[in-house]
Amino acid sequence: MEKKILLADDDPDVIEVVSMLLEEEGYEIITARDGAEALEKIEQEEPDLVILDLLMPRVDGFAVFNTLREPRYEKWSRIPVIVLTSVREEVCNRRYELETGKRMEYAAYLEKPADPDELLETVTRLLAG
């Protein structure tokens, strides 16, 4: 059975390129254009991995992290999350800690533009474990 990956990003170019890259490797890709849609798709599709942009309309990636900590999302809280964003990691972590008082717990952090080989290696490693 092929692994299912949710790709949440509001940039159509990123969705197209990353989807194509991962589909060529045999992964099933589900897409979401904002955090609200991402949360819906997590519940509906139960992906094996989430690739999440932080800066999106309506509900951003920071809010997705917060929501996944809520008791009603406990079932999905163990899904590995790769942050794929243009925000530098230290800035992202600082903002999240200031807003929530908690550390952001992601499986991997890649800054855009991500190297395709690094993205594939990260996805493969996280889905193998």
Predicted confidence (pLDDT) per residue in 28-57, tens digit: 999 999 999 999 999 999 999 999 999 998
Domain that holds residue 27: 4-128
Structure token pair of residue 73: 């999302």
What is the total count of domains within the chain? 1
Residue 66 is predicted with a pLDDT of: 87
Per-residue pLDDT of the chain (129 residues; tens, 9 = 90+): 689 999 999 999 999 999 999 999 999 999 999 999 999 999 999 999 999 999 998 899 999 988 988 898 889 888 999 999 998 888 877 888 877 778 888 999 999 999 999 999 999 999 996
Q: What is the DSSP string of 64-124?
A: HHHHHTSGGGGGGTTS-EEEEESS-HHHHHHHHHHHHSS----SEEEESSPPHHHHHHHHH
Q: For position 19, which CATH number holds?
A: 3.40.50.2300
Q: Is the pTM of this model over 0.95?
A: no
CA distance 64 to 61: 5
Residue 87 is predicted with a pLDDT of: 85
